[in-house]
């Protein structure tokens, strides 16, 4: 349930109603928006008399929220959330451009790619240190050494780092070393991991699960938000369908839907969505055109010899060309590129 106050309602009146509702065993989430102040009530609201609250002179409107996601719901939080990462952010006017290799492979590789993408306009560096591989015999990542190399690349370029966390055991290390913690598609419904992420305030990049519905994806975000961490960024990376030509099917309509029903920023990963490097530029352009807040793109300096996902990795010069195209597209949809 949400309670929307009239403009200029005194703070005391809002606090008074808030305490009254809280004493009925309901959690109250106060959001001061650009248009109005809203109380979002989470929990069992069946005993709350809507008419009684509506009778309050300061109250503009009371609404029941039928969707199971509450804190991720735009009704609870009408203004779009902007997640700050260092001196950059995701969800504001500026498009976030995250790029880098699937996996960190060596000092030269990660630092060279970081310098190249930075020169093109990337705002953050990606690179997997811990890799979720289908085969236990495939390269599993450089692990802690990979984190150290990411830190070196950050020191050389100033780019914040985005990397995937797979186990709650490594959480403290990630909180220390990483700017954005990526939760991969395979862990989207690892609820114990999500609960741990709710206890920190580090930005979380939550990828959509392999076959997750939009509602399931938002409910996973709700786990993090309900724990107290409001810094959640969603990432559409394609879903599994009957189609086998592409690695996954990029669900562009999910961007439009999520921007409508949620206030959380949403970015697109055209690399894992297609599995084909030559398709990445076109879908990157499409993602920005439909309203995505940013992109996460796999870029490798030697894709043929990449230890992971070489087929879908573009070269730094191709990334540069994508960013040039986006500089033309972004203003058309009211956005900008750094």
Site residues (vs ligand PEP, CB under 6 A) = 102, 128, 132, 184-186, 207, 237, 269, 272
Nearer to ligand PEP, 94 or 236 (CB): 236
List the single partner that 207 binds among Mn ion, ligand PEP, none, CB under 5 to 8 Å by kind.
Answer: ligand PEP
Nearer to ligand PEP, 74 or 154 (CB): 154
Closest CA to 175 of 165, 187, 184: 165
Compute the distance between CA of residue 195 and CA of residue 184 in angstroms, rounded to an integer.
15
Binding segment (CB under 5 A) for Mn ion, from list 150-158, 217-225, 309-317, 325-333: 309-317
Nearer to ligand PEP, 40 or 203 (CB): 203
Least distance to ligand PEP, CB of residue 41, Å: 34
- DSSP codes, 33-51: -SS-EEEEEES--TTS-HH
β-pair partners for 296: 98
Closest CA to 187 of 170, 210, 203: 210
List the single partner that 237 binds among Mn ion, ligand PEP, none, CB under 5 to 8 Å by kind.
Answer: ligand PEP
The three-state secondary structure class of 234 is strand
Inter-residue contact 251 to 238 (CB < 8 Å): yes
List the single partner that 132 binds among Mn ion, ligand PEP, none, CB under 5 to 8 Å by kind.
Answer: ligand PEP
Compute the distance between CA of residue 77 and CA of residue 259 in angstroms, rounded to an integer.
12
List the single partner that 121 binds among ligand PEP, Mn ion, none, CB under 5 to 8 Å by kind.
Answer: none
The three-state secondary structure class of 228 is coil
Residue at token pair 């395979």: 186
What is the C-alpha radius of gyration for the chain, rounded to an integer number of angstroms? 21
Least distance to ligand PEP, CB of residue 262, Å: 19
Least distance to ligand PEP, CB of residue 284, Å: 15
Least distance to Mn ion, CB of residue 272, Å: 6
48-87 footprint of Mn ion as x/- string (CB under 5 A) = ----------------------------------------
Inter-residue contact 327 to 337 (CB < 8 Å): yes
Residue from 99, 102, 197, 314 touching Mn ion (CB under 5 A): that is 102
Least distance to ligand PEP, CB of residue 289, Å: 22
Question: How many Å separate Cα 95 from the centre of its chain?
Answer: 13
Tally of CB atoms within 10 A around 121: 18
């Amino acid at each position: 349930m949400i309670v929307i106050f009239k403009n200029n309602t005194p703070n005391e009146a809002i606090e008074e109603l808030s305490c009254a509702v809280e004493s009925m065993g309901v959690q109250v989430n106060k959001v001061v928006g650009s248009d109005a102040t809203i109380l979002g009530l989470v929990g069992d609201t069946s005993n709350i008399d809507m008419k009684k609250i509506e009778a309050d002179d300061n109250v503009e409107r009371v609404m029941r929220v039928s969707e199971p996601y509450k804190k991720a719901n735009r009704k609870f939080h009408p203004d779009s959330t902007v997640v700050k990462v260092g001196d950059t952010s995701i969800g504001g006017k500026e498009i976030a451009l995250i790029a880098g290799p699937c996996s960190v492979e060596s000092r030269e590789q990660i630092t060279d790619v970081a310098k190249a993408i930075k020169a093109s306009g990337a705002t953050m560096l990606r690179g997997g240190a811990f890799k979720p591989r289908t085969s236990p015999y495939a390269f599993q990542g450089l692990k802690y050494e990979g984190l150290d190399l990411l830190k070196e690349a950050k020191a050389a370029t100033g780019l914040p780092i985005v990397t995937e966390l797979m186990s709650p055991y490594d959480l403290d290390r990630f909180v220390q070393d990483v700017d954005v913690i990526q939760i991969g598609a395979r862990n989207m419904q690892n609820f114990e991991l999500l609960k741990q992420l709710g206890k920190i305030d580090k930005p979380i990049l939550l990828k959509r699960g392999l076959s997750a519905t939009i509602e399931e994806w938002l409910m996973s975000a709700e786990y993090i938000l309900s724990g107290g961490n409001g810094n959640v960024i969603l990432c559409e990376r394609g879903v599994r369908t009957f189609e086998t030509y592409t690695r996954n099917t990029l669900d562009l309509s999910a961007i439009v839907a999520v921007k409508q029903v949620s206030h959380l920023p949403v970015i697109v990963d055209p690399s894992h969505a297609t599995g084909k490097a030559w398709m990445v530029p076109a879908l990157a352009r499409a993602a920005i055109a439909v309203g995505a807040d940013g992109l996460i793109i796999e870029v490798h300096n030697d894709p043929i010899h990449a230890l992971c996902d070489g087929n879908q990795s573009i070269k730094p010069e191709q990334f540069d060309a994508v960013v040039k195209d986006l500089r033309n597209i972004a203003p058309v949809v009211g956005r900008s590129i750094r």
